[in-house]
A and B are shown apart, each in its own frame.
Chain A
Amino acid sequence: GQQVMQIPQYQHVQEGEDFTTYCNSSTTLSNIQWYKQRPGGHPVFLIQLVKSGEVKKQKRLTFQFGEAKKNSSLHITATQTTDVGTYFCARRYGGATNKLIFGTGTLLAVQP
């Protein structure tokens, strides 16, 4: 019940095309966080969503939290080569621990 699934595992797009990754959980999430990891790099926090149906934007990135708080998506408009990397969603486990359960990740490749 802890696992967070992401699809697709891998996406290859032409520069300028849009990209979306989806995160799904079988249980209700208290919040969802999104991280980006460049090849050879470390995860970098992008955003956190906490409210049902919440939508947040960061320039070309749009993050959504589902009404039932069981899924989330990250959409990138007009991808650029700098968007290359793996995008992870992560859920906080809950209780006394603040540990994160990471999704399986979506690797984005952008062809110039």
Chain B
Amino acid sequence: NAGVMQNPRHLVRRRGQEARLRCSPMKGHSHVYWYRQLPEEGLKFMVYLQKENIIDESGMPKERFSAEFPKEGPSILRIQQVVRGDSAAYFCASSPSGGSNQPQHFGDGTRLSIL
């Protein structure tokens, strides 16, 4: 009965490289959310996806960031040409549906460090 699985737990990249963060939702969950948490701050919504669809990407930076949730496989958050300001913890959450009363279950997060 695995929870939300994220990998890697820690990721180090140099400026200009690409970062790929993966998230497998809980079994039976088809809705995935990505949040970013800067040091000493709260979580900020980035993007909400269902299988093969982006529902809300209002929190995604306009450039360098993209997300997908393919029919098969995990959801991917991709950051191209990383900069120091991208250093943060990236959390994925899932829920069984998009209902308003559904709690979101979070993964352990990926701590991204940019050198």
List residues of chain A with CB under 8 Å of any chain B CB: 30-31, 33, 35, 41-45, 48, 50, 88, 92-94, 96-105
Q: Which residues of A contact B100 (CB under 8 A)?
A: 30-31, 92, 94, 98
Please give the distance in Å from A40's CB to the nearest CB on chain B: 9
Query: What bracket does the count of chain B residues touching chain A fall in?
Result: 20 to 34
Chain A, residue nearest B107 (CB) = A42
Please give the distance in Å from A53's CB to the nearest CB on chain B: 18
Complex interface residues of chain B between 67 and 95 (CB less than 8 A to chain A)? 91, 93, 95
Alpha-carbon gap, A35 to B106, bound state (A)? 10
Please give the distance in Å from B70's CB to the nearest CB on chain A: 20
Question: Would you call B91 and A98 a contact (CB within 8 A)?
Answer: no
Please give the distance in Å from A107's CB to the nearest CB on chain B: 9
Alpha-carbon gap, A44 to B109, bound state (A)? 12
Alpha-carbon gap, A99 to B58, bound state (A)? 10
Please give the distance in Å from B54's CB to the nearest CB on chain A: 11
Instruction: Given A88-B43, A98-B33, A103-B42, answer yes or no on A45-B104 (Cβ-Cβ < 8 Å).
Output: yes
| Interface-centre pick from A33, A42, A50, A97 (highest chain B CB count, 10 A) | A42
* Dominant SS among interface residues on chain A: strand
10 contacts between A and B (CB under 8 A): A41-B108, A43-B43, A88-B42, A96-B56, A97-B55, A98-B100, A98-B102, A100-B45, A101-B45, A102-B43
Alpha-carbon gap, A99 to B104, bound state (A)? 9
Q: Which residues of B contact A50 (CB under 8 A)?
A: 101
Query: With A35-B106, A98-B100 given, can you name 15 additional A-B contacts, CB distance below 8 Å?
Result: A30-B100, A42-B106, A43-B91, A45-B105, A50-B101, A88-B43, A96-B98, A97-B56, A98-B33, A98-B48, A99-B33, A99-B48, A100-B35, A100-B104, A104-B42
Alpha-carbon gap, A104 to B99, bound state (A)? 24
Q: Which residues of A contact B102 (CB under 8 A)?
A: 98
